[in-house]
Amino acid sequence: MTLNMGPQHPSTHGVLRVALELDGENVVACKPVIGYLHTGMEKQAEYKTYTQSIPQTDRMDYLSPMSNNLALCLSAEKLLGITVPERVQAIRVLLTELTRISAHCVWLGTHAIDIGALTVFWYCFREREKVLSIYDMVCGARMTASYFRVGGLAMDIPEGFLERCEKFVREMPAHIDEYEALLTKNPIWLARTKGVAPLSAADAIAWGVTGPSLRGSGVNWDIRKAEPYSGYETYDFNVPLGTRGDAFDRFQVRVAEMRQSTRIAEQAIRRVRELGVSGDYRLRDFKYVLPPKEEVKTSMEALIHHFKIVAHGFFPPVGEAYQAIEAPKGELGFYFVSDGSARPWRMKVRSPSFVNLQALPVMVQGKLVADVIAAIGSIDIVLGEIDR
Amino acid sequence: MALAPTRVEEKLRERFPDVAFERQQGEAVRDHTLYVPAEALVDVCTYLRDEPECAFTMLSWMGGADYLPRVPRFECVYSLLSIQHAARFTLKVRVPEEQPRVPTVCDVWPTANWHEREAYDFYGITFTGHPDLTRILLPEDWVGWPLRKDSPLGYEEVAFTHNTPGRIKPSPALKKLAPKKVRYRAQ
């Protein structure tokens, strides 16, 4: 029997369609069908300046806007050959780690709902709300942050921001304990996730799976450790690993990652305090980066730079660059080709969900149809990023 | 010890003396990039995957690019990742406009499947030997290759039933379900 799951089905986390070939309750073949949310972001980027593409990235993985902003900015910075000040790096790390916590909260809540545990969802969304209000505080938007800029940040962090983050980071470990109390030893949860949707390390690598799904299979690969960016090499954190590569391992890896993220965020807050609660929030290289508004009002040079960058954008050298970051879902990278103009000749997005979803048939082949839902939940996909 | 991309290039030149490799030159080519002739692609990729000193066991991504009006017009970019050595390496294949064909690397890395479908979908580059080369992000009946530089960004008429021949028209029976027009009398 052929069963059509989705595209409008709550457990497919967006408009994903899965064509399932069934033999009784067993899955014979599984084919994900994607593209329902395709908006041609890569094409549109060729008609925008690099900065204008930043709001687009918020809409890709809409659960982790800051990570997407960071990936684009780092890639453009690599192309330009510039590095941002240490203070900016620390703020970026702080915000992307908070993003990881909130993205994992949404994942945990929705994954648990799929398998029938509704309670966790309300707990998770409570904490996610706190991260969203931190976003709101820092950039005025709850989901579409667009806070990072090539060469820095859009504006400096507001007063009271660090205190707010500190409070969140202090309270978060206790909340993670709550989630674990609800799930980790819950017999129904164990029955629905242990041994379900297994993915061997060799398969995971062959299918290009990255992020917590790869680490759940026991492969020690975290871009923050292996190819550090934004000063991650100076933070102290562990990379949690699974052993069996099933849905339960992926769950454990993500929950442990949330704990590690609070650790990193804590260190980042301390670092921002050391480097100044207010200070440089952009690189002072006005060929590429907007000068501070106060200077525009007094300095002729700054005014010229301001006009040039607002009217034309910045002009990277002819060349290309690819930079990947460890986004909540896996390796997120932007590949830019520049022809020397203010607009990228080509922007390619390597989105983790797109690649990870490809491994779904491997996970569910020959398994029960009910496990397909657990499998989709356990890979953690966002369709906005898959279809772009 | 980290694996330097220059070492990878050396090894490749040693192993394939007859293949015309070419390092991409440029002011701001930030990643070490090597052009490979299309015929040699699968052999080179298999070698890079299986050679223990390289161990590029993962294909991070691959994608197309259009360089109109340059000849040859298209390029395919392969970004290889070695988890063991924490190294990346980029391969490129030039693709001519008249016969945009590249051998598939699906047999080397299964993950190439969707990436190649995407490159086909966007640029019309065919991957010979691909198990299921169909459109992936765009609808199956889409005409054209949207990411080619000569494909317009927009300003096209939106497809409705009335301006799209061959579109299934709604059944007349549905009209019965439509609400009746109610006329209000002026007071």
Copy the structure tokens of residue A62: 């809409």
- Disruptive mutation site among A322, A334, A356, A360 for chain B (greatest number of B CBs within 10 Å): A322
B108 touching A (Cβ < 8 Å): no
Whole-number Å distance between alpha carbons of A200 and A205: 9
CB contact (8 A) between residue B79 and residue A335: yes
Q: Report the C-alpha gap between A188 and A211 in whole angstroms.
A: 26
Q: How sure is the predictor about B115, in pLDDT bands with cuts at 50, 70 and 90?
A: very high
* A-B contacts at Cβ under 8 angstroms: 101
pLDDT-based confidence at B21, cuts 50/70/90? Answer: confident
Cross-chain CB nearest to B28 (options A81, A335, A348): A81
Classified by CATH at the fold level, domain A2-387 comes out as: Cytochrome-c3 Hydrogenase; chain B (1.10.645)
Neighbours of A104 (CB within 10 A): 28
Question: Domain segments of chain B: what residues?
Answer: 5-169
Does B110 contact A79 at a Cβ distance shorter than 8 Å? Answer: no
ipTM of the complex: 0.89
Q: How far apart are CA A210 and CA B26, in angstroms?
A: 31
Instruction: Please determine, for residue B165, whether its predicted confidence score (pLDDT) is greater than 80.
Output: no
Residue type, B18: D
Separation between Cα atoms, residue A149 and residue A139, nearest integer Å: 12
Bridge partner list, B45: none
Distance CA B170, CA B159 (A): 15
Predicted confidence at residue B60, as pLDDT, reads: 92
CA–CA dist A146, A377 (Å, integer): 27
pLDDT at B172 over 80: no
* Per-residue pLDDT at A327: 92
The reply to whether B10 touches chain A by the CB within 8 Å rule is no
Question: How far is Cα A226 from Cα A234, in angstroms, rounded to an integer?
Answer: 13
Contact A46, A347 (CB under 8 A): yes
CATH 3.30.460.80 fits B5-169, yes or no: yes
Q: With an 8 Å Cβ cutoff, is A205 touching chain B?
A: yes
**For residue B49, what are the CA distances in angstroms to A209, A219, B82, B108?**
16, 17, 8, 8
C-alpha to C-alpha distances, B78 to A70, A93, A193, A211, B52, nearest whole angstrom = 23, 29, 35, 20, 20
Are B139 and A354 in contact (CB < 8 Å)? no
Question: For residue B32, which residues of chain A lie inside 8 Å, CB to CB?
Answer: none
Given a cut of 60, is residue B1 above it in pLDDT?
A: no
A164, A129 Cβ separation under 8 angstroms = no
Distance CA A268, CA A334 (A): 25
B65 to A321: CB separation less than 8 angstroms, yes or no = no
Domain ranges for chain A: 2-387
pLDDT for B4 equals: 86
A344 backbone dihedrals φ, ψ, rounded to 5°: -65, 140
Of A66-80, B73-87, B124-138, B157-171, minimum mean pLDDT range: B157-171
H runs (alpha helix) in A276-351: 293-298, 300-311
Q: Which residues of B37-73 are buried (b: 16+ CB within 10 A; e: fewer)?
A: eeebbbebbebbbeeeebbbbbbbbbbbbbbeeeeeb
Given a contact cutoff of 8 angstroms between Cβ atoms, the answer to whether A50 and A338 are in contact is no
Cβ-contact A152, A282 below 8 angstroms: yes
Mean pLDDT over all residues of chain B?
A: 84
At a CB cut-off of 8 Å and minimum separation 6, what does A358 contact?
Answer: A32, A207, A208, B111, B113, B114
Q: How confident is the model at residue B17 (pLDDT cuts 50, 70, 90)?
A: confident
Residue of B56, B60, B145 to mutate, interface with A, max A Cβ within 10 Å = B60
pLDDT digits (tens, 9 = 90+) for B118-136: 999 999 999 999 898 888 9
Residue of A nearest to B154 (CA): A44
Any B CB within 8 A of A331 CB? yes
Residue numbers in A near B30 (CB within 8 A) = 78-79, 81, 319-322
The answer to whether A49 and A342 are in contact (CB under 8 A) is yes
pTM of the model: 0.88
- Selecting from B65, B83, B90 the residue whose C-beta is nearest the C-beta of A221 gives B83
CA–CA gap between residue B65 and residue B47 (Å, rounded)? 25
Distance from chain centroid for Cα A302: 34
Whole-number pLDDT of residue B173: 65
- pLDDT band for position B175 (cuts 50, 70, 90): low
Instruction: Decide if A207 touches B, using CB distance below 8 A.
Output: yes
Could you list the pLDDT tens digit for every one of the 388 residues in chain A?
888 887 877 777 778 888 888 888 888 888 898 988 898 899 989 989 999 999 999 998 889 999 999 999 999 999 999 999 999 999 999 999 999 999 999 999 999 988 888 889 999 999 999 999 999 999 888 889 899 999 889 888 999 899 999 999 999 999 999 999 988 888 888 988 888 888 999 999 999 999 999 999 999 999 999 889 998 999 999 999 989 889 999 999 999 999 999 999 999 999 999 988 888 888 888 888 888 888 889 999 999 999 999 988 899 999 999 999 999 999 999 999 999 899 999 999 999 999 999 999 999 888 888 888 889 889 888 888 898 8
In chain B, residues with a C-beta closer than 8 Å to the C-beta of A38 are 137-138
Structure tokens at A370: 């009910």
Interface subset of A 22-81, CB within 8 angstroms of B: 34-35, 38, 40, 42-44, 47, 78-79, 81
For residue A201, give the amino acid letter.
Answer: A
> β-strand B101-103 against B126-128: which pairing, if any?
parallel
B178 confidence band (pLDDT: 50, 70, 90): low
